[in-house]
Structure 1
């Protein structure tokens, strides 16, 4: 029930903590920094996320830096999306000419989570006021992993992690496992393909006339659609274990559904986020 102002004391829901606790204890994560200038030594935002994920007990599958180039960003995300449960990107979310992260990310989302960007800009407004509108941070679900795109500054990444993601990651993964991933089954048929038209009635056969049998029909749209959907589903979930010791397969979030990993949340107190003039 929605709590309305003046309608009495607010009573927190008990469902959210239960869902957090029901999520997997270990989440497989990837960090992707998007920048023309940063290196592992100067990428403070990427190193911050790396430390936070590891301290929370999650598994860092890969950390890498790519240029502010749409082709490179898409290639990296396409390769990584089936290797992890979570992809965190930083950089390229502004309005400058080289900021191309958001169009690429949005084109790969099959189920956006607009609340992430809304909450991020709300929290940013409390720190930088109207400049928060310059951030196009976004997130959602791809065909294989949760994906969140954040600005590149350390302060912005701290805001997104501390204020939004840290305590909700297991809840998010739980919801995906409970509801299923988009694209894991054949999509619903359009209304025009839902059922084949009824065959016309055959006229009565006069006595003594041999019966006429209609010619066999070509394969129907329904059977073709199901076969194609099944083939696509099998191909999408077929994984190859690589030589990288950090890679344990390419099943993405589905891996947790098979193993049934569950545990209580780990609450870790963090320092208060400081203002960053470079947001």
Structure 2
């Protein structure tokens, strides 16, 4: 029987609202359609403290999976990746590598601009996706078939 994961979706943006957040809405819907329970959805500005505070709160609440979208570019305001990296206890570099490989097939060399990253933050799966709807769909394509296995491994034999 597939495990129903407790999930949080965080959109990092200075401009998105619940009405215009197509990427976050896609993730919420995709997770629900896959049988998971989205217990948290939030939009925060591109600010380190806001991102970290929300992710840590969901992690402390025992969420199994946290997905963020946005703030992964290379501008000065894009701080999602360093925040995520600071929370990871076991990075999964293959996620970013595969994400960029799939993205290259879709957008060519622009895929090198992606800083998609993910891994384990204690017992919580944590992944940062770019903000575009296409990139989020690519990330979901990569993650959806692996979530049960990832969640089982995250809970196995304890984590720091």
TM-score range, shorter chain: over 0.9
**1:89 corresponding residue in structure 2:** 68
Equivalent position of 1:152 in the other structure: 131
TM-score, L = length of structure 2: 0.96
Kindly state the Cα deviation for residue 98 of structure 1 after the two structures are TM-superposed: 0.6
Q: Which structure 1 residue ranges, 4+ long, deviate > 4 Å from structure 2?
A: none
C-alpha contact (below 8 Å) 1:82/1:145 kept by paired residues? no
Deviation at 1:179, TM superposition (A): 3.4
Q: What 5-or-longer segments of structure 2 have no aligned partner? A: none
Task: Name whichever structure is richer in helix by fraction.
Answer: 2
Output the aligned Cα RMSD: 1.0
Q: Report how far residue 144 of structure 1 moved.
A: 3.4
Partner of 1:180: 158
| C-alpha contact (below 8 Å) 1:32/1:65 kept by paired residues | yes
1:176, CA displacement in angstroms?
A: 1.6
Count the aligned residue pairs: 159
1:165 aligns with 2:140: no
Name the counterpart of 1:99: 78
Alignment of 1:26-37 (within 5 A): 26-37=4-15
Structure 1: 5+ residue stretches without partners: 1-20, 184-279
Q: Is the 8 A contact 2:123 2:154 kept in 1?
A: no
Cα-to-partner distance string for 1:119-169 (whole Å, 9 max, x where unaligned): 00000000111100001100010023110000000000000101x111100
Distance 2:53 2:151 in 1: 24
Match of 1:39 among 2, 5, 17: 17
